[in-house]
Amino acid sequence: MAHITDLDAYRRQIRAWLAQATVPEVPLDLEGRFTVLRAWQKTLYEAGFVGISWSKAVGGQGLTPLHQLVFSEELARAGAPQPIGLIGVDVVGKSIETYGREWQREQLLPRLLSGDDIWCQGFSEPESGSDLASLRTRARIEGDEFVINGQKVWTSWAHKAQWCALLARTDADAPKHRGISYILVDMSTPGVTARPLVQMTGDDEFCEVFFEDVRVPVGNLVGKLHEGWAIAQDTLSHERGSYTLRRRVEYEVAVEEAVRDLRDHVDETGTEPSDWVLEQLGRSYTAVRSLEALTRRTIERQLAGDIPSPLDSVDKLSLNEVEQLVYTSITNVLGPFRLAADGVAFGLDGPRWVKDHYYSRAASIYGGTSQIQKNIIGERLLGLPRG
């Protein structure tokens, strides 16, 4: 009971802080959004709300994933945005905390948490997306440096990032899951080029990144040489688990907003929604509730140290399906108004929901495709034969 009381007290603390904080309005354009959310991350960090479940030794709060979930819930319900540096905070940073060298933890992680440094994740390649272990980017050792050559793609925020957590092949003769190393690359290093890719949303958040004779100190290696695959699996487990926890709360709040806007529209016009409209919202609500039940189990696994695990793929696959179902169902309610630049139907803001719908199409690709998650579930959880 004391643990529950502690969480309740923490929730009250967050609500009190949010009530007096200046919550930023986030513009739709990517450049404006990045600037606002980076400043917001600094504000959250200074208030002690970034790195909640991180150790105090690296600038975190030393609390539990349950405290992080409580904060995510209160942040979303207050209509406040998430910080911009979630690739660092939720994904690569935890792997650096676990496997990194002392200087990496002491010098890089506090700046990662505060948003002073933005991180990107150099994993996927043009011909090695789903089959990540077949990556072709090479890093050879010359003296006390790695010399890196290769290309990455779908690298979120690479054109804004100061650091990249890079997977590169350091032993060309080893089997593909071996001979890979996990290297931290300063994005200002000569030979690094990031080129933004315009998405169907109109944003250029994703990038392709080229490495041409990029020289990086050997001391930037995370873990041991040639043993980066295990660290990559740790990183992906955080991406699939922690990211799912945050996104589930956002989906829940999105459905609540749609229901509220629809209810306001009914009160103003006296026009009752059709059974079909109610069905779309009902499907969204049911999907979010099922994902909530799953993420409660994920929290239990995190508290027990059961990560990485094939169950992370269950989380990611569920995230893919729920994200697309929620935003597709709500956008369906707009009907033909989704095509109008300022379309509104049943009180729903067309441009907002259409953009979220477009972004949700990427859910079945980012962080590991749905097909790969199904393969992992089939082989490692169900014991089915490969192929």
Q: Report residue 190 as tokens.
A: 């000569």
Q: Beta strands 163-169 and 119-122: pairing type?
A: parallel
Q: What is the structure's pLDDT at 281?
A: 92
Q: What is the structure's pLDDT at 299?
A: 82
Whether CATH 2.40.30.10 fits 119-226:
no
Per-residue pLDDT tens digits of the chain, which is 387 residues long: 334 448 899 999 999 999 999 999 988 788 999 999 999 999 999 999 999 989 998 889 999 888 988 998 899 889 899 999 999 998 899 999 999 999 999 999 999 999 999 999 999 998 776 678 889 999 999 999 999 999 999 899 999 999 999 999 999 999 888 999 999 999 999 999 999 998 877 888 889 999 999 999 999 999 999 999 999 988 887 776 667 777 888 899 899 999 999 999 999 998 888 899 899 999 999 999 999 988 888 888 878 888 778 888 888 899 899 999 999 999 998 888 777 657 677 788 888 888 899 889 888 877 778 888 898 899 989 999 876
d(CA 138, CA 149): 5
Is 239 an annotated catalytic residue?
yes
Cα–chain center distance at 296: 18
Q: What is the structure's pLDDT at 3?
A: 42
Dump the DSSP string for 24-67. Answer: PPPPSSHHHHHHHHHHHHHHHHHTT-SSTTS-GGGT-----HHH
> Of 153, 148, 135, 138, which Cα lies nearest the Cα of 195?
153
Q: Which of 74, 97, 125, 239 is catalytic?
A: 239
Cα–chain center distance at 106: 23
d(CA 149, CA 192): 9
Domains in the chain: boundaries: 2-114, 119-226, 230-381
Whether CATH 1.20.140.10 fits 230-381:
yes
Q: What is the structure's pLDDT at 387?
A: 66
Query: Do 135 and 167 form a contact (C-beta atoms < 8 A)?
Result: yes
Which class is 2-114 in CATH? mainly alpha
